[in-house]
């Protein structure tokens, strides 16, 4: 029955997708009819600087597992519309992938342009022609779907051996018309500003010994450019020398400053561009005759960046929105298809797909409500009893559905709650994972390896419903910083401390601000200085090294940057040498629900008294663990994951970077970014800009390795709330509920006080009643 039902659904979906109107929808990707597989007709090689690369790096272009899909935006210039275009793909597939049962389908603006059979072994190149009239000026989207099957293995573990890697440097679009026919404007600038890894390379030129206001102006334009260009991974350098290779040399200043930097006096005030498509190097000049006129020019460019509507196809704008994470407002409802979910029947054993979205920077998380995932799905009969689907929100499991039944099943509108304390301001990810093994997988008959019968199907009309949530700013919380808010929105420039005004450190600060601007679509004005604040008043954003400002952080923020080696945390017993004849410690084969060790199967006590004693002991241990957790929530005992308001944080010896935010008084929070070694600053900032690293920043202190791996996170034991919008009755009620959910001790005390008052009031009423 399930097979017939899925066949009918697939046929109806394919007929719908064949309609031009359906294929052009911007609400979500629509699976178009299967195109006939194409073979590689010829080898095609193109000069690297002529390829319009996808906005993606090597990690974005890695396709693991049995089924994978990605969507990437790319820019098309007006002159390129009149000629022909083709897509070049350079890729390599794992040797374990069966080429006869594995293929890649490519869609441009939701239109199927072809399919390619995957070929294991060495890297190879294929090309696909694009139909005329398919592209639009501005941003467009290319969607890649992969199906990969193992040659001989049917286990779930074997699915991790399946992968295809696309080379970002040798992949992209080529056109018969050259971009030199286009005028030098912002769209042409954006088409050539990224390096081979998809990073936006901006080189801010400042005079030697530049004053703070020169740097402030440059940083404002860098942020506006990051918004206008959708630079999700900006890499900014600061200096007085022109760069090389693909990227942007940015010059901001009066006519005299510009002349001193590049040797040319601008002809007029405003924003001017000089673009060389052959090298990919561009120059952007923001100039005016006077400082006041320059301030007006920068303000106009900033306003344009924050309000301009993006040109391109609906699919291109959708790809850009889903890449940032579509902003979901309080009380909104969106289908999974609108959030980037590609709905298609899955015939493999291990299903994985995710959606991403953003919540406002003033979203207040807490256990006072829940988002609802209304799931519509189908699964086949004959799945093993252990088959299940797991839903995770930001890495934490929020739902689990068993799928192992003898007969097929349908999930119609099942509501899966996602507590609001599992979500965060800024970038959020919901993951869907299902294990779908069957009895035939254990046999793994070669005759059934190519069986394409669907086992699982999540429908794109499933919806994510966001309830009304509390909106109020809170600090310290690095998730708010990752959403683009480092200050309290008072309208004044945020003081920015840069150790020694070092050019490398200035570049790191500019990259951080550009990433914040991209996330929030707002420019944060700053006031750069090399002097540490004399008093702890007002907000601060600071950049430096472990050795450079360790004293300031120790005294003002309670952060000790003198690292402690990780092996110091080991107990003495762990380092002792076992004496001959001493008992050898063995690991338990399993863990019980409460985390205590479970005895081996052959070591269970046999007498009734011993079993009773064991049961009482396990119950006692379970209760002890639960009481300890509850006591930590009530603040009665210290929680090792929480940093108290007056606590000192000792950085780990494994940490290469530190991102932290702490309250310095009852009103102001200071945000700091520190690196152990200046030599790794560029690598560290590139890692920090990655979506999966930036989107994990949370709490008060995050210690990271140079590749972005989290070493340690400390949550804040005390927070400050600040108003971001006019207070309403509904929002006030939600804020109070959220605050109580995050402060269990105060909530418990309030309950006790209310109970006492209620009892006292009842006593008074009863006593007065007797007298009357």
Which tokens go with 508? Answer: 């790191």
Of all residues in the chain, the percent with pLDDT exceeding 70 is: 82
pLDDT of 180 reads 56
Question: Is residue 602 situated within a structural domain?
Answer: no
pLDDT of 147 reads 92
| Last-in-domain residue among 470, 500, 517 | 470
How far is 233 from 224, CA to CA, in rounded Å?
14
How far is 490 from 517, CA to CA, in rounded Å?
17
What average pLDDT does range 49-74 have in this prediction? 89
What average pLDDT does range 405-419 have in this prediction? 86
Q: Are 439 and 404 in contact (CB under 8 A)?
A: no
Same domain? 176 vs 241: no
Give helix 744-771 / helix 729-742 axis angle, nearest 10°.
110
pLDDT of 7 reads 43
Which residue, 271, 384, 348, 236, is CA-closest to 689? 236
Same domain? 357 vs 465: yes
Q: In the structure, what pLDDT confidence band is assigned to residue 389 with cuts at 50, 70 and 90?
A: very high
Is 374 a residue whose pLDDT tops 50? yes
Same domain? 279 vs 409: no
Q: In the structure, what pLDDT confidence band is assigned to residue 702 with cuts at 50, 70 and 90?
A: very high
Same domain? 293 vs 433: no
- Most confidently predicted of 52-61, 188-197, 275-284, 412-421: 412-421
Q: What is the mean pLDDT of the chain?
A: 83
Higher-confidence residue: 438 or 602? 438
What average pLDDT does range 365-378 have in this prediction? 94
pLDDT of 194 reads 78
Residues in the chain, overall count: 772
Higher-confidence residue: 601 or 629? 629
Per residue, what are the HEC states of 723-769? CCCCCCHHHHHHHHHHHHHHCHHHHHHHHHHHHHHHHHHHHHHHHHH
Is 53 a residue whose pLDDT tops 80? yes
Q: In the structure, what pLDDT confidence band is assigned to residue 19 with cuts at 50, 70 and 90?
A: very low
Q: Determine the distance from the C-alpha atom of residue 39 to the mean position of all C-alpha atoms in its chain, rounded to a whole number.
A: 36
Q: Are 192 and 282 in contact (CB under 8 A)?
A: yes
CATH number of the domain to which 251 belongs: 3.30.379
How many domains in the chain?
5
pLDDT of 8 reads 41
Same domain? 343 vs 364: yes
Tens of pLDDT, residue by residue over 199-220, are 888 999 999 888 889 999 999 9
Is 9 a residue whose pLDDT tops 70? no
Q: Is 735 left (phi over 0), alpha (psi -120 to 50) or beta?
A: alpha
The answer to whether the bond into 18 is cis (omega within 30° of 0) is no
How far is 37 from 280, CA to CA, in rounded Å?
35
Tens of pLDDT, residue by residue over 244-294, are 888 899 999 999 999 999 988 898 899 998 887 777 788 999 999 999 999
Question: Whole-prediction pTM value?
Answer: 0.83
If DSSP codes are grouped into helix, strand and coil, which group holds residue 51? coil
Higher-confidence residue: 660 or 488? 660
Tens of pLDDT, residue by residue over 553-612, are 988 999 998 866 544 343 334 344 444 444 443 333 333 333 333 344 444 455 667 767
Tens of pLDDT, residue by residue over 469-487, are 999 999 999 999 999 887 6
Same domain? 235 vs 339: no
What residue numbers bound the domain in which 549 lies?
473-485+488-566+641-722
Same domain? 157 vs 244: no
| Last-in-domain residue among 180, 200, 217 | 180
């Amino acid at each position: 029955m399930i097979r017939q039902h899925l066949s009918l659904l697939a046929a109806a979906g394919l007929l719908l997708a064949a309609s031009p109107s359906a294929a052009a929808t911007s609400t979500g990707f629509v699976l178009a009819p299967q195109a006939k597989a194409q073979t590689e007709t010829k080898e095609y090689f193109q000069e690297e600087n002529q390829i319009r690369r996808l906005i993606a790096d090597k990690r974005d272009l890695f396709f693991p597992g049995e089924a994978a899909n990605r969507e990437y935006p790319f820019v098309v210039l007006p002159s390129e519309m009149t000629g022909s275009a083709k897509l070049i793909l350079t890729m390599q597939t794992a040797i374990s992938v069966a080429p006869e049962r594995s293929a890649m389908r490519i869609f441009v603006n939701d239109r199927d342009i072809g399919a390619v059979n995957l070929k294991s072994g060495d890297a190879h190149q294929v090309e696909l022609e694009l139909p005329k009239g398919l592209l639009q000026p501005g941003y467009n989207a290319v969607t890649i779907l992969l199906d990969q099957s193992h040659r001989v293995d049917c286990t779930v573990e074997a699915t991790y051996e399946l992968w295809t890697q696309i080379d970002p440097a040798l992949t992209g679009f080529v056109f018969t018309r050259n971009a030199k026919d286009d005028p030098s404007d912002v769209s042409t600038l954006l088409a050539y500003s990224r390096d081979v890894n998809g990073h936006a390379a901006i080189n801010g030129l400042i005079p030697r010994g530049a004053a703070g206001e020169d740097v402030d102006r440059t940083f404002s334009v860098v942020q506006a450019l990051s918004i206008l260009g959708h630079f999700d991974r900006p890499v900014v350098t600061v200096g007085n020398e022109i760069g090389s290779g693909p990227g942007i040399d940015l010059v901001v200043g009066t006519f005299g400053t510009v002349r001193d930097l590049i040797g040319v006096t601008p002809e007029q005030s405003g924003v001017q561009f000089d673009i060389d498509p052959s090298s990919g190097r561009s120059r952007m000049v923001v100039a005016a005759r006077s400082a006041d006129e320059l301030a007006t020019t920068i303000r106009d460019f900033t306003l344009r960046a924050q309000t301009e509507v993006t040109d391109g196809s609906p699919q291109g704008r959708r790809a850009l929105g889903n890449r940032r994470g579509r902003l979901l407002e309080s009380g909104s409802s969106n289908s999974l298809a609108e959030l980037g979910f590609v709905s298609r029947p899955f015939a493999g054993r291990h299903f994985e797909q995710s959606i991403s979205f953003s919540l406002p920077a003033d979203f207040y998380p807490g256990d006072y409500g829940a988002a609802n995932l209304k799931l519509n799905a189908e699964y086949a009969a004959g799945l093993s009893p252990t088959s299940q689907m797991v839903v995770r929100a930001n890495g934490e499991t929020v739902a689990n559905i068993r799928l192992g039944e003898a007969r097929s099943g349908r999930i119609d509108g099942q509501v899966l709650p996602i507590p609001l304390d599992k979500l965060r301001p800024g970038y959020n990810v919901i993951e869907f994972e299902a294990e779908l093994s069957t009895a035939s997988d254990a046999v793994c008959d070669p005759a059934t390896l190519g069986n394409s019968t669907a086992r699982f199907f999540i429908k794109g009309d499933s919806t994510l419903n966001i309830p009304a949530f509390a909106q109020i700013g809170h600090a310290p919380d690095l998730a708010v910083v990752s959403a683009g808010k480092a200050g309290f929105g008072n309208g004044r420039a945020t003081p920015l401390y840069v150790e020694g005004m070092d050019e490398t450190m200035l570049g790191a600060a500019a990259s951080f601000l550009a990433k914040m601007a991209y996330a929030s679509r707002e420019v944060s004005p700053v006031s750069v200085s090399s002097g540490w604040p004399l008093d702890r008043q007002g907000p601060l954003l600071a950049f430096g090294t472990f050795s450079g400002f360790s004293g300031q952080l120790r005294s003002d923020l309670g952060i000790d940057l003198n690292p402690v080696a990780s092996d110091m945390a080991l107990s003495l017993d762990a380092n002792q040498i076992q004496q001959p004849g001493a008992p050898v410690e063995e690991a338990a084969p399993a863990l019980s629900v409460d985390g205590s060790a479970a005895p081996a199967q052959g070591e269970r006590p046999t007498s009734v008294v011993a079993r009773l004693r064991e049961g009482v002991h396990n119950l006692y241990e379970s209760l002890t663990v639960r009481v300890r957790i509850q006591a930590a929530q009530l603040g009665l005992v210290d929680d090792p994951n929480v940093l108290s308001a007056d606590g000192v944080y000792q950085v780990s010896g494994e940490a290469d970077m530190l991102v932290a935010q702490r309250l310095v008084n009852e009103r102001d929070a200071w945000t700091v970014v520190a690196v152990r070694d200046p030599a790794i600053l560029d690598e560290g900032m590139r890692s920090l800009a990655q979506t999966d690293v930036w989107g994990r920043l949370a709490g008060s202190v995050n210690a990271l390795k140079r590749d972005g791996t989290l070493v340690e996170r400390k949550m804040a034991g005390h927070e400050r709330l600040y108003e971001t919008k006019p207070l309403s009755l509904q929002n006030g009620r939600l804020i109070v509920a959220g605050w109580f959910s995050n402060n269990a001790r105060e909530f418990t005390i309030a309950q006790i006080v209310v109970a006492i008052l209620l009892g006292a009031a009842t006593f008074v009423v009863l006593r007065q009643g007797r007298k009357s």
